[in-house]
């Protein structure tokens, strides 16, 4: 396999070689729990049934507990406590419960690297915000919002996997901590290709694999270029929303993507105005 990674970063050649060998050979990819896999499959099925969804989630006590906890958070404003999964699905809707369930499962399985809790939380917050913003972009373009949320949530899934594998390599090769600059360069260079491998490993649709694998360069996407652009814009919006002192005046955006999606200044202003709501939902998923 010939790896097509992002631009050649400041990553030392020796580290790049070790990571390439690991990725081409025996990369450690997280498995889904059986319940999470079935929930993900059901949520991607247009015939998704509310009763079946609640029944599935209840099979995993940890997942069920987290879903109920998030469902009762202030952002979803329940008028009275939600005490059952069936009640949660009824009150919030299948789409919202699917989003919460997938986010909880992904966070527990992938976004967990011991010793790097602060950086992992930052990554997860960005991924959650990207998921919500990508959904809003898709909504404004009248496209599939459920698929958009998942693409946004997964777009950087390769980063924690690269981080974990580099930490493991360091432990076996040198037993010394890897400088943060090298960790960031490695994640930047390899996260798209590793993320695409992860999406395939979890048996998600091929178009999602393409989106995750090319979200920094939509021109390389062939099957799902529009979905890739939507995810890219969600990514850019999330970076802006989470930046210190974010304001409509300092939003740079991605002009090529915005033009290709035929989004006008008013459309972008409407998306920027959703910042508080987006961050509130993202925070509930953290």
pLDDT of 75 reads 80
pLDDT of 266 reads 95
pLDDT of 8 reads 58
pTM of the model: 0.89
The CA distance from 264 to 255, in Å, is 10
pLDDT of 6 reads 58
Which domains does the chain carry? 31-101 (no CATH), 110-286 (1.10.3210.10)
Contacts 24+ apart (CB under 8 A), 245-248: 246/275, 248/272, 248/273
Nearest to 203 by CA among 26, 38, 5: 38
pLDDT of 258 reads 95
Quickly list DSSP for 205-265: -HHHHHHHHTTT-GGG-SS-HHHHHHHHHHHHHHHHHHSTT--GGG----HHHHHHTT--H
Spatial CB neighbours of 265, under 8 Å, sequence gap ≥ 6 = none
Return per-residue pLDDT of the chain as tens, 286 residues: 445 565 556 788 888 998 999 899 888 788 777 787 888 888 877 788 888 889 988 988 888 888 898 888 878 777 788 899 988 888 888 888 888 888 888 888 788 888 999 999 999 999 999 999 999 999 999 998 878 999 999 999 999 999 999 998 888 877 788 899 999 999 999 999 999 999 998 888 899 999 999 999 999 999 899 999 999 999 999 999 999 888 888 899 999 999 999 999 999 999 999 999 999 989 888 8
């Amino acid at each position: 396999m010939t790896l097509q990674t992002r631009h050649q970063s400041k990553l030392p050649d020796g580290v790049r070689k070790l990571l390439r060998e690991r990725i081409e050979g025996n990369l450690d990819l997280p498995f889904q729990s059986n319940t999470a896999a079935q929930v993900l499959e059901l949520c991607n099925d247009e015939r998704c049934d509310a009763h079946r969804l609640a029944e599935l989630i209840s099979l995993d006590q940890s997942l069920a507990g987290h879903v109920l906890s998030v469902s009762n958070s202030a952002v979803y404003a329940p008028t009275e406590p939600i005490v059952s999964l069936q009640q949660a699905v009824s009150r919030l809707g299948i789409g919202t419960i699917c989003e919460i369930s997938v986010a909880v499962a992904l966070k527990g399985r992938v976004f967990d690297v011991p010793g790097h809790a602060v950086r992992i939380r930052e990554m997860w917050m960005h991924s959650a915000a990207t998921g919500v913003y990508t959904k809003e972009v898709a909504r404004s373009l009248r496209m599939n919002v459920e698929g958009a949320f998942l693409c946004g949530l997964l777009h950087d899934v390769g980063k924690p996997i690269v981080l974990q594998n580099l930490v493991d390599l360091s432990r076996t090769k040198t037993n010394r901590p890897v400088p943060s600059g090298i960790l960031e360069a490695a994640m930047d260079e390899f996260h798209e290709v590793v993320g695409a491998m992860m999406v395939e490993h979890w048996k998600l649709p091929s178009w999602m694999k393409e989106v995750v694998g090319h979200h920094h360069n939509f021109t390389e996407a062939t099957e799902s270029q529009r979905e890739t652009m939507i995810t890219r814009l969600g990514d850019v919006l999330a970076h802006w929303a989470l930046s210190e002192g974010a304001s409509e005046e300092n939003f740079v955006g991605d002009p090529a993507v915005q033009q290709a999606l035929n989004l006008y200044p008013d459309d972008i202003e409407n998306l920027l105005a959703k910042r508080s709501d987006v961050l509130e939902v993202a925070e509930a998923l953290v």
